[in-house]
């Protein structure tokens, strides 16, 4: 643990830190610290939430935690022989088409490795199926945590030999949906898990399986379904250079704002924030003032529902 004392937290992010080796379509390869944990935690801290991170990684790489420590994020590190290393290859102009390889993994996080924390929300921010198992999830739920999860933690399945990630359905989705207060996924994961590209239909499927609040991103925007009602907000980004971490950033912004606001306001806030993030590589490094300015300029149109399947 790299923290002097345990406090009370708004959100705790659980998952691997990693190195991202990213090659844009017809672009230059770059390597930088990444992960759903990093992208999410930095968003929540920058918008004023008290944040903790529980991460499994090698101690020799702890320097990559500094950006979070600089934002007063409390970090509980679980030692592992190696730090997760992820390769992302964009094979076309479609930012949702990516080849993913997990060269190294820090391994599954065990329930007895997670410290007892006083936190309002706990988000399981995994990037592949090498991070969480059902024993951990059931254990955390039994401890009374308000849980949310990124479904890429189950859909992204790593080949033990080639280390290439394939996107596959997982029957645990039914139990997971019942145990979560909120679910996060993108259009690719939605298609794999529910069989449809229609974001609303996918969210309704999770609702039927037992999760009352689902957030789904795709290239054009983000949909949220809560309490039987669907809302949608388009992104306003002017480029996609910062595509990696789009969903993690969106959900962290949504979850942070949702603590004190309704679904529609939180969705607009998340869309504005992630639109800024996608215009620059790396985790969101803006301010609340930046987000509220983008909200005012691009996301203040009032309208009732919204999402129309472009394929229908």
pLDDT > 70? residue 310: no
Rounded CA Rg of the chain: 18
Beta bridge partners of residue 97, listed in sequence order: none
Residue pair 246/217 in contact (Cβ under 8 Å)? The answer is yes
Least trusted range by pLDDT, from 48-62, 80-94, 106-120, 203-217: 80-94
Quick one: pLDDT band at residue 282, thresholds 50, 70, 90? Answer: confident
pLDDT > 50? residue 4: no
**Average predicted confidence (pLDDT) for the chain:** 93
- Whose CA is closest to 43, among 285, 261, 294? 285
pLDDT > 70? residue 304: no
pLDDT > 80? residue 54: yes
H/E stretch holding 167 reads: strand 165-167
DSSP string, 57-110: E-GGGGGGGHHHHTTT-EEEEEE-SS-EEEEEEE-SS-TT-EEEEEEE---PPP
Mean pLDDT of 13-38: 93
- Model confidence, pTM: 0.92
Per residue in 129-140, pLDDT (tens digit) is 999 999 999 999
User: Phi/psi at 258 (nearest 5 deg)?
Assistant: -65, -20
Which residue segments constitute the domains of the chain, with CATH numbers given? Answer: 8-298 (3.40.1190.20)
Per residue in 220-263, pLDDT (tens digit) is 999 999 999 999 999 999 998 888 889 999 999 999 999 999 99
- Whose CA is closest to 232, among 190, 200, 187, 205? 200
Quick one: pLDDT band at residue 309, thresholds 50, 70, 90? Answer: low
pLDDT for 311 equals 46
């Amino acid at each position: 643990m790299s923290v002097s004392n345990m406090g009370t937290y708004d959100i705790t992010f659980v998952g691997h830190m990693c190195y991202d080796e990213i090659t844009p379509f017809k672009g230059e390869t770059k390597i930088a610290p990444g992960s759903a944990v990093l992208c999410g935690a930095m968003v929540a801290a920058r918008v004023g939430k008290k944040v903790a991170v529980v991460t499994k990684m090698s101690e020799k790489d702890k320097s990559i935690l500094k950006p979070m420590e600089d934002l007063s994020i409390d970090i509980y590190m679980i030692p592992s022989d190696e730090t997760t290393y992820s390769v992302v290859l964009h094979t076309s102009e479609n930012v949702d088409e990516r080849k993913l390889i997990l060269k190294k993994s820090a391994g599954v996080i065990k329930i007895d490795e997670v410290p007892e924390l006083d936190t309002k929300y706990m988000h399981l921010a995994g990037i592949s199926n090498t991070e969480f198992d059902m024993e951990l999830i059931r254990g955390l739920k039994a401890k009374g945590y308000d849980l949310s999860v990124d479904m890429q933690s189950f859909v992204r399945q790593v080949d033990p030999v080639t280390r290439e990630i394939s996107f596959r359905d997982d029957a645990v989705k039914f139990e997971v949906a019942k145990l979560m207060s909120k679910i996060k996924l993108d259009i690719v994961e939605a298609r794999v898990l529910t069989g449809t590209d229609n974001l609303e239909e996918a969210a309704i499927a999770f609702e039927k399986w037992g999760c009352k609040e689902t957030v789904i991103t795709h290239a054009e925007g983000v949909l949220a379904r809560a309490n039987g009602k669907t809302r949608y907000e388009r992104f306003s980004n002017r480029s996609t250079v910062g595509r990696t971490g789009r969903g993690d950033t969106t959900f962290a912004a949504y979850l942070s704002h949702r603590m004190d606001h309704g679904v529609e306001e939180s969705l607009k806030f998340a869309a504005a924030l992630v639109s800024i993030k996608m215009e620059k590589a790396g985790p969101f490094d803006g301010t609340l003032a930046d987000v509220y300015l983008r909200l005012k300029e691009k996301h203040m149109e009032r309208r009732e529902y919204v999402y129309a399947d472009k394929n229908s």
